[in-house]
Structure 1
Amino acid sequence: MGDTTIAPPPTAQRRAGVWQAVLLLAGSCMPVLGSVLITPILPQLSEHFGDTPGAEVLVPMIVAIPALMIALFAPFAGQIVDRLGRKTLLVVAMFAYAIVGTAPAWLEALPAILLSRVLVGVCEAAIMTVCTTLIVDYFHEERRRNRYLGLQTVVTTLAATAFIAIGGALGVGGWHTPFWVYAVSILIGALMVISLWEPTAAEAGEPEARDRPAKVRIPWARIGVPLLVTLFGGFTFYVIVLEVSYLVVGTGVAADDTATIGGVAAIASLATAIGGLSFAKLSKLGHGVLLPLAFGLQAVGMLVIWIVPGLPGIGVGAVIASFGSGVLLPSLLTWVVAAAHFADRGRVTGWWTSAFFLGQFLTPILVAVLAAGLGALPAAVGVVGIVALLVGAAVGFALRKASAAVAA
């Protein structure tokens, strides 16, 4: 008699929907929360710690340190993701984030606050890496993936604007108060426990991945140059975000005219969100067109800021450059991360996150050096635009050449 063993039925694959996307997008907002929520209370912090030695450097580091920690620790988070899984790391990081994020609400010593901010950055490295990895895992079909990666830019950009307003409003009650907002990660984390799951390779669109060895090498040959471009893209992305208020004040607007300054910043933020929304439709152009287009729009906007005098030049240039930034971020992300396999996606995402946030951390430093050397902030922004144009052209040429070589 022949073998009558009946094979077990295949395991039903879970399919993510809008609710899972909402949670992952909400989680992606945590690094933004860390960097912008407390910017409105920096003057209060500077006044409170004015007698502390080195306060003029240490107080701004309360905002800057988390981005540096993301850059340093995201690759390690990626290692954990690929070896131990996605969901556990994400949930642990979300609850830890609430603890270390709210710590300054009852701390008084500046060194202790700075230590808590280091730990906030470590948590953010894990949260951002896992959320991005799970978006690609859950929504691996190209159309859905591009939609949600574009929405990641939109949601985080709009969240930044909202968090600045919330931080300013709560800051009226004292500099301790805004830090309680970090507790929101407890609610999001609890919902993640219930609604998210650890995906299998098959659920991530790779049924053949179970035949691969558990340990695979990071494809440095493929991602090395894209990571360098991402580092530069992180820098150009944050030039307008971080410098627009100083550019507006440089036109003669009073530093306490928050309505004008905030209005220009809000319009630029909205342009970034619209760029992110446009990505899903523009993605059909391919990276060989989309990346040069995004860098080119940034360049045009920055050159307008440099060349056109006064507030109109700042406003129009910021909108053009910010729209380009909104297109750029998901373009870089899909270029590097989407092509990664399930077995190495966490590490590749971690390195991408590290490169992008390192660019963010370097932005104020590099712009300050350029502005000092050129004698004016608008000139520094214009030079960044010229370099962005050259980088975009080089990337487009290289990608089209590679595509032609594959087709040949």
Structure 2
Amino acid sequence: MTLLKPAAAMTLLAVSCLTIMVGCVIVPGLSEIAARLGVSHLANWLVTLPALGVVLAGPFAGRAIDRYGAYPMLLVGLFCYGGLGVAGAWLPGAPLQIIDRVLLGCFTAVVMSAGTSLIASFYQAEARLKMMARQGMAIELGGVVFLFIGGILASLSWRYPYALYLFSWLLLALVVILIPSPQQQIATETRDEGATNSDRALRPVLLAAICSMMCFFTAIIMLPQRFAALGVNAAHIGYFLSFVSLVAVLAAALMPHVAMQFGPYPTLIMAFVCYMLAHLEFAAAPDMLLCLPGGILLGMGFGLSVPLVNHMTVETSQPHERGRQLARLSMAIFAGQFLAAFMAYIPGQVAMTFIAAAILAVMNIVALRKFAVVRN
């Protein structure tokens, strides 16, 4: 199978960045943006509502990709993503903002699933695993870059961060120019009528995706509160979270080597061991400096798990159902992100939330071990 040229591959990796960009571009100026739009009471929901849209639209996005193809659906998704994203700067009032953010999430599901499906169409075996790892690196780097640029733009005007959503229109043009017709590339992928039921086989993968995002985003949500209580200023909190993202990038780069040596399920177990140890350390560490080893473990947990569940979903799915299964994975990933917000309501001090996340990681380790034994 012919691989994409470097410029085309970079375009698909840039498309992957849009999944994390959907919420993070407005985070640096969130308070002023919410106030200007008259939705101060819904400030946090402006960030999380797209995740709800992904969960709601996932099944429809998957069916559309399987029926019409990943390539045309990616073009539709990129166009609507940019239009709905930038429109948010001009829609006052809660009802319009809620509708806009949920619809933005719906087309994020299309972009995420169609982009990964195209990667799966152009790459196979070890090359596909490495490309999935690069996709995970791109997502994390995108978070760092777009948060940085969003902060600069927010300092100039509260509307300017919304212009970043138009990056999807640039990618739309690049996809049309650089990505060849997928029909010419996927002819070797045939439907295997005797394949096992991928719905059942993917259950532990989807569970791992949900739990991974819950473990990761519980820390991302709760650490700023923990550090603020310790007297750490906002700048240093931002440095710490950026450090975690960079560790995740490095871990994603190492993931193909680890997965090929130990296997996918042992690698996922390693990721959740990292999550468990990270949250236990966050619960016990008395200051930010002693949280650094936990930050390294947290980034390793993300980098070893999220790109891998993408690859496992593609490998387990038949080509004719890949869009549906990738959409289910998108739903699982964003559902985990959405559910992490509710971890903050666990009674007790902040340390209890970290302990609860560590328990969640242990439960997933047990589940993955049992499934790995059954598979063997």
TM-score between both structures, scaled by the size of structure 2 = 0.93
**CA separation in 2, counterparts of 1:204 and 1:28?**
25
Q: Is the 8 A contact 1:279 1:327 kept in 2?
A: yes
Q: Is the 8 A contact 2:250 2:303 kept in 1?
A: yes
Q: Name the amino acid aligned to 1:392.
A: I
Q: Deviations over 1:63-98 (max 9, x none)?
A: 111111111212211111111111111011111111
Q: After TM superposition, list the pairs within 5 Å mapping 1:145-294 onto structure 2.
A: 145-200=128-183, 203=186, 205-206=188-189, 208-209=190-191, 219-253=198-232, 257-284=233-260, 285-294=262-271
Find the partner of 1:39 among 14, 20, 27. Answer: 27
Assess, with a 3 A threshold, how the Cα gap between structure 1 residues 342 and 198 changes in structure 2: closer, same or farther: farther
Residue 218 of structure 1 and its aligned partner are, at CA, apart by 6.5
Shift of 1:136: 1.4
Matches within 5 A, 1:295-306: 295-306=272-283
Query: One-letter code of the match for 2:250?
Result: I
Residues 144, 355 of structure 1: CA spacing in aligned structure 2 closer, same or farther, 3 A cutoff?
same
Matches within 5 A, 1:366-381: 367-370=343-346, 373=347, 375-381=348-354
- The structure in which a higher percent of residues are helix is 2
Specify the alignment match of 2:78 in structure 1.
94
1:389 match: 362
Look at both structures and tell me which one has the larger radius of gyration over its CA atoms. Answer: 1
The partner residue of 1:20 within 8, 14, 20 is 8
CA drift of 1:318 comes to 1.8
Distance 1:212 1:98 in 2: 39
* Identical residues among aligned pairs (%): 26
Match of 2:58 in 1: 74
Counterpart contact for 2:78–2:169, Cα < 8 Å: yes
Deviates more, 1:280-289 or 1:102-111: 102-111
Closer/same/farther in 2, CA of residues 393 and 129 from structure 1, 3 Å limit? same
8 Å contact kept, 2:55–2:335: yes
Q: Could you tell me which of 36, 43, 50 is aligned with 1:48?
A: 36
C-alpha displacement of 1:288: 2.8
Secondary structure at 1:39 match in 2:
coil
Q: Could you tell me how far 1:353 is from its partner in structure 2?
A: 0.9
Q: Which amino acid aligns with 1:144?
A: A
- In the alignment, structure 2 segments of 5+ residues that lack a partner are none
Aligned to 2:117: 133
User: Is 1:106 the counterpart of 2:90 in the alignment?
Assistant: yes
| 1:303/1:386 contact within 8 Å kept | no
Structure 2 CA distance for partners of 1:219 and 1:340, relative to 1, 3 Å: same
Whole-angstrom distance in 1 between the partners of 2:147 and 2:283: 27
**Which residue in the other structure is 1:85 paired with?**
69
Unaligned 5+ runs, structure 1: 1-12, 404-408
Aligned pairs for 1:267-346 within 5 A: 267-284=243-260, 285-346=262-323
**CA deviation profile, 1:181-227 (whole Å, cap 9, x unmatched):** 11111111011012224434973752x43x859xx996322223332
User: What CA distance in whole angstroms lies between the structure 1 residues aligned with 2:241 and 2:300?
Assistant: 13
Normalised to the residue count of structure 1, the TM-score between the two structures is 0.86
